[in-house]
Amino acid sequence: MQRPGPAARGLSAAELHDATTALRSLVGTVVVDAVPVRTAAGPEDLLLVLHAADQDRKVFVQIALGSSRARVATTTRRFAKAALVRGPVQDLLHRELAGSRLVEVVHPTGERRCEFVFAGDRGPRRLAVELFGSRGLWALVDAGQRVLALSRSVETAVRTVRPGDTYQPPPASGEPRDDGARRFAAPVLPAIDAFYAALDLALEFTLEHERLSLATRRALQKARAKADGMARGLADAGRAQALRTQADLMLAFAGGVPRGASSMSVPDPDHDGHPRRIELDPARPVIVQAQALYDKARRLDAGRAIAERRHAEASATVLALAAIDDRLQALTAATPAVDEALAGIAAELQRQGALPQPKVTTRQKQPAASIPRAENYRRFVSAEGYQILVGRDNEQNDRLTLRTANGNDLWLHVGGGRAGSHVVVRLPKQKTASLETLLDAAVLAVHFSKARGESRIDVIYTHRKHVKKPKGLPAGAVVPSQTRTITVRADAARLQRLLDSAGGDESN
C-alpha cells in the first residue's frame, strides 16, 4: 500500500519556526530586489532577491500567502519576467528595501507569523509576514511602526491595517491552534520548497490545461461546422451540369410552349424519354429563363474551385486541431518539459486563431509612473502607492498639467482664487483615486500654496482632460471644468508622511 504524502496545508507554527531558524543563515545578505510575483496558483507571492557577498550568489526567498500555499522558504524556482508585478506600490517596496542588509529573522513562539528586519540608508525596515487566514498578509513598516506598503488593507473588528497606519500584530487570541506534526526533515528549506513548488506547478498545469482544452474544443467545433458547410457548398456546385441539361431541353422545345405558360413538358433523356415537367415563369420568355440557368451554371463552376479550396482548408484545420487535442489530452503534470509543451500548444492554437495573438508593440509607451528626472517636479507617493507630482513655478505648472499629465490623471489646485502649485495624481488606465489618495493630494495642494498654515481650506479637483488653457492666459493659469471640491483640514501626520515619501527635502 502506498504511503500518503504530507497534507496540502500551509506551514504550521512549528514548521515556520524551523524555516525561520534556517533562514537566519541569510543574515548579512543584501536585498537586490523585492517584488510581488503573479502565479496561477493563488494570490500574488512576494519574492525577495538577496545577494550573498561571501559566495557571490543570489538567494531567492519566496513568501506565499493564503490557505494551503502559505509558507516562507528559499526557492530554486525561477519566474518569468512577465510574472513580476510592477507598479507604484511595487516600486515603493523596491525603493525602500533595495540595497538594505538583512540583520534578523524573528519568529514569535507558537505563532504563524514572522518578521524580516533590514538596515539600510533609509533607516531600519521590517517586513512583517502573516501566514494565517485565507489571504495572509505582508506589511513593510518603518522604525516608527508606520506601514509603508502592504499586500492588502485589513479592516476587521479587531484591527485595521492600511498604508500610513501604525502596524499592530493580531491579538494572540486570534491565532489558530497548531495543526499537525512537522512534515519537513532537514534541510527544511529545500524540503518546503520542493513540496509546495510541486503543488503550485500541478495547479498551474491544471489551470493552463483546462484553458487550452476549452479553446481547442471550441475551435474544433467551429472548424467542423465550417467543413460541413463547405461540403454542402460543394454538393450545390455539382448541380451545374444538371442546370445546363435543363436549359438545353428548354431551348430545344421552346418553340412549342405558348406565351405565358407556367410550365412545359419535355422528354427526359436520362429516363428513356419519359415526360419531364419544367416549371416556368409566365412573365418571362423561355429563352431568357434558359439563359439564366446557363449563367447560374457558370457561376457554380467558377465557385467550385474556391469551394474545394476552402473545404480542403477547413478539413485540414479540423485534422490539425484534433491532433492538438490528442497531444493535449496526453499531457500530465509529470510529463517532462510540460511547460514547454503547453507553450508550444498555445502557440499553435494562436496560429489557428483559437487563441488571441500576443500583443506586439513596436514602441514601448512610457509608464505613467515614470517621468524623466530632467523635469524636477516635486514627487511624492500616496498611501495607495500612486505618484503625486507638484509643480515648482508657473512655467512648470503648465508643463506638468498640459504635457506630462494624462487625461485620466487627477488634477488639483487650492480653491478660493488662491495662488498655488498644480498637483497631479498619476493614475493607471481605468483606475480612480480613493478618498485617501485624494486627501493626500489635497494636503499637498494646500501646503504648496498661499493657503499654507490655514486650518481649513477648500481644494478643487477634476480629471486632467477637463483642464484647458485658452490662448492668451499667462503661465500657470488654466481653466478647469467639471470640478468638485474637497475641504481639507490641517493634518500634520499626513503631511509628514507625504514629505517623507519624497526621499528628500521637498517641504518648500
Instruction: Specify the pLDDT at position 363.
Output: 39
Report the alpha-carbon distance of residue 246 to residue 267 in Å, rounded.
Answer: 11
- Nearest to 152, CA basis, from 169, 135, 133: 135
Instruction: Specify the pLDDT at position 432.
Output: 84
Are residues 146 and 62 part of one domain? yes
- What is the span of the domain harbouring residue 481? 378-501
Whether residue 203 is contained in a domain is answered as: no
The CATH code of the domain that includes 73 is 2.30.310.10
Based on the structure, what is the number of domains in the chain?
A: 3
Instruction: Specify the pLDDT at position 479.
Output: 92
Are residues 405 and 335 part of one domain? no
Place of cell 484647458: 468
Whether residue 196 is contained in a domain is answered as: no
Are residues 218 and 122 part of one domain? no
Are residues 232 and 177 part of one domain? no
Q: Where are the beta strands (DSSP E) in 417-463?
A: 423-425, 456-463
Place of cell 538594505: 100
Are residues 167 and 91 part of one domain? yes
Domain boundary at 183, 198, 222, which? 183
Are residues 146 and 74 part of one domain? yes
Whether residue 188 is contained in a domain is answered as: no
Cα distances from 16 to residues 22, 115, 412, in angstroms, run 10, 11, 47
Are residues 84 and 145 part of one domain? yes
Long-range contacts of 48-52 (CB under 8 A, 24+ apart): 48/97, 48/116, 48/127, 50/26, 50/102, 52/26, 52/28
Whether residue 508 is contained in a domain is answered as: no
Instruction: Specify the pLDDT at position 364.
Output: 41
Whether residue 359 is contained in a domain is answered as: no
Are residues 299 and 393 part of one domain? no
Whether residue 21 is contained in a domain is answered as: yes
Are residues 222 and 178 part of one domain? no
Please report, in tens digits, the pLDDT of each residue of the chain (508 residues total): 334 455 678 999 999 999 999 999 999 999 999 999 888 766 789 999 999 887 788 999 999 987 888 999 999 998 888 788 877 777 888 889 999 999 999 999 889 999 999 999 989 999 999 998 888 999 999 999 999 988 888 888 888 888 888 998 887 654 455 556 789 999 999 999 999 998 888 888 998 999 999 999 999 999 999 888 888 767 665 677 888 889 999 999 998 899 899 999 999 888 888 999 999 999 999 999 999 998 888 877 766 777 778 888 889 999 999 999 999 999 998 899 888 899 899 999 998 888 887 654 443 444 444 444 457 899 998 888 889 999 999 999 999 999 999 999 999 999 988 899 999 999 988 788 888 899 999 999 999 999 998 889 999 999 999 999 998 889 999 999 999 999 999 888 899 989 988 755 566 6
Are residues 332 and 240 part of one domain? yes
Are residues 253 and 127 part of one domain? no
Burial 172-188 (b: 16+ CB within 10 A, else e): eeebeeeeeeebbeeeb
Whether residue 202 is contained in a domain is answered as: no
Domain boundary at 351, 370, 402, which? 351
Whether residue 115 is contained in a domain is answered as: yes
Are residues 164 and 23 part of one domain? yes
- Asked whether the beta carbons of 485 and 456 are under 8 A apart, the reply is no
Domain boundary at 351, 366, 388, which? 351
Instruction: Specify the pLDDT at position 366.
Output: 43
